[in-house]
Amino acid sequence: MLKAGVFFAMLAVGLGACTTIDFSQLPPATLTGSLFVMWVGEGNSSGDGKFVFAPDPADPLTFRRADSSLPGAEIQPGLMYTDGGSIPKIAQVFKGLSPWGYAPAYMIHDWMFTAHHCIVDGENDKRFDQVGNVSFKDSAEILGEAIQGMVKANKVQRNDVAGTAITAAVGSSIAENLWNKKEACAASK
């Protein structure tokens, strides 16, 4: 496992993280509800296919931050395309880096990106209001908090290497470029 730790530390540095988030210091969020995805196409170099996340009206996936005064305090993702966690295939061999291992957290993160892209592209939909004030840094913290919440709820095993690597990757300059991408709303919805 030491080799994996060194690999992920180098990966985080190599990604040129533009925001520094200490995963170990993030408070656990609460995740409730169900998660339903349907396969709609094959994958590419990251993820394991193209899926549609469909909210369950009777039991919606809901994320709640420990501090309700922060941006994105409560998020319920809407209908969207997803590939789960955008984990490069080469990294999926390491424990904790499955594109579906932290699926509820990934759905929350994907929804923030979808909503942000649609807001930037001028969409005026009330579904996006819950994340309208979420910054890029907030989006990385929210994903880390969701993973911490899954650990606290015993939904996944503690894996500080994976949580740290994922949080670093979603806080990287590569991820920020994707966050700032214009005309991306239509492809996300």
| The pLDDT value given to residue 186 | 87
Q: What is the pTM of this model?
A: 0.88
| The pLDDT value given to residue 45 | 61
Task: Average pLDDT across each block of 10 residues of the chain; the chain has 189 residues. List them in order.
Answer: 39 52 96 96 74 96 97 97 88 89 97 96 93 97 98 92 93 94 86
Which of 34, 30, 110 lies closest to 67 in space, CA to CA? Answer: 30
Distances in Å between the Cα of 5 and the Cα atoms of 110, 113, 141 are 26, 28, 21
What are residue 82's phi and psi, to 5 degrees?
A: -155, 160
| The pLDDT value given to residue 19 | 60
Judge whether 92 and 68 are in contact, CB under 8 Å. Answer: no
Paired with 30 in beta bridges are: 64
Beta-sheet pairing, 50-53 with 37-41: antiparallel
What are residue 158's phi and psi, to 5 degrees?
A: -60, 130
